[in-house]
């Protein structure tokens, strides 16, 4: 029985939309633009949050980590997809597939945990404003963030090992855009019922449980906001929390559709479109939703741009050092 990691195995072929060349050409342009905007937006969030001292608060600490996760997730999957759209050779090595699967899975699961942490942060800010800095102190922020990373990548190690040690019997055509657990299980030439049960259990843990905690948190937030007498205060609270909830619904909705639906209930093209959505569109929406409606962040960004512009102009207009004129000799 030939396994995928035998010496005769050259790698996997990521089919993508190879049967629709015109679609791949159009998607290449669209994905490249979205990837550039997503990269620029998430890098901006990280830099501005680090540079402006007023943003050194739990909300922006979590947001910077979320942006870094999204940045890594898109960089892990999108360049390979773009290369496959332009090249005839759509092969990815076995090691490259393992690496892509491990990183993408770890980042996705870590983000699920982090989004639930951010919901708890918003709950503490809205429902317990007087004790907020005591509840969400810097040490707890660091511990919760590290826990998100550790849980995500700890689970990814186990799932990647269980998936990539399956016998593939020479099957190497992956009908997807990148290496992902449900798609890789279809290539296995053995009974995968145990793996499928493990994927389902892990999906419930990382999708249903965090989403339930988030919805409970926002139920308390909604009840607290409705008690605010000021209409402007209610609007501001709903604006801040509504943006977070929108990201949550989009991110968890697409992942639940991908991992908790029976594979036969949707076509493989829909599968690929959903995968593109949560690996590309959601990371673009994060900087847009979190920053365009946030006055503090926009003010910090304008301040940073103004400071950078002034520094550039100052250097450009710096007077040249005086030169000593030599008197003509007699």
Taking the C-alpha atoms of residue 216 and residue 177, their distance in angstroms, rounded to an integer, is 35
d(CA 300, CA 263): 46
Q: Contact 17/27 with Cβ under 8 angstroms?
A: yes
| Cα 283 to Cα 70: distance, rounded to the nearest angstrom | 5
Domain boundaries, the chain: 12-291
Write down the mean pLDDT value for the chain: 82
For residue 248, what are its two tokens? 């949550």
Count of Cβ atoms closer than 10 Å to residue 23 Cβ: 14
Count of C-beta atoms within a 10 Å radius of residue 88: 6
pLDDT in tens, 147-183: 999 999 999 999 999 998 888 887 788 888 888 888 8
**Average pLDDT for residues 14-33, to the nearest whole number?**
83
CATH architecture observed for domain 12-291: Up-down Bundle (1.20)
Which tokens is 239 given?
């604006």
pLDDT for res 330 = 42
Mean pLDDT of 60-84: 91
Reported pTM: 0.85
178: number of CA atoms within 13 Å, CB side? 27
**Other CB atoms within 10 Å distance of the CB of residue 20:** 12
Pair of tokens at residue 180? 């992902």
């Amino acid at each position: 029985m030939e396994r995928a990691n035998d010496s005769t195995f050259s790698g996997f072929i990521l089919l993508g939309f190879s049967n629709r060349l015109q679609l791949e050409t159009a998607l290449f342009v669209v994905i490249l633009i979205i990837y550039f905007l997503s990269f620029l937006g998430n890098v901006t969030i990280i830099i501005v949050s680090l540079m402006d001292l007023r943003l050194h608060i739990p909300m922006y600490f979590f947001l910077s980590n979320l942006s870094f996760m999204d940045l890594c997730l898109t960089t892990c999957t999108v360049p390979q997809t773009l290369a496959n759209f332009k090249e005839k050779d759509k092969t990815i090595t076995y090691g490259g597939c393992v690496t892509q699967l491990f990183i993408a899975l770890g980042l996705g699961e870590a983000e699920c945990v982090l989004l639930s942490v951010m919901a708890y942060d918003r709950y503490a800010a809205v429902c317990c404003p007087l004790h907020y800095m005591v509840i969400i102190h810097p040490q707890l922020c660091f511990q919760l963030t590290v826990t998100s990373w550790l849980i995500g990548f700890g689970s990814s190690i186990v799932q990647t090992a269980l998936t990539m040690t399956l016998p593939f019997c020479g099957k190497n055509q992956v009908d997807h855009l990148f290496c992902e657990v449900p798609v890789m299980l279809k290539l296995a030439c053995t009974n995968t019922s145990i793996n499928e049960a493990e994927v389902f259990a892990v999906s419930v843990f990382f999708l249903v449980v965090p989403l339930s905690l988030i919805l409970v948190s926002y139920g308390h937030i909604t009840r607290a906001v409705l008690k605010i007498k000021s209409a402007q205060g209610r609007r501001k609270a709903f604006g801040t929390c509504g943006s977070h909830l929108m990201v949550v619904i989009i991110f968890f909705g697409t992942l639940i559709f991908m991992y908790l639906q029976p594979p036969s209930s949707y076509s493989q093209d829909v599968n690929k479109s959903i995968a593109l959505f949560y690996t590309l569109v959601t990371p673009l929406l994060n900087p847009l939703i979190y920053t365009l409606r946030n006055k503090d962040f926009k003010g910090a960004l304008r301040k940073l741009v103004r400071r950078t512009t002034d520094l550039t102009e100052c250097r450009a207009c710096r007077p040249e050092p005086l030169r000593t004129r030599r008197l003509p000799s007699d």
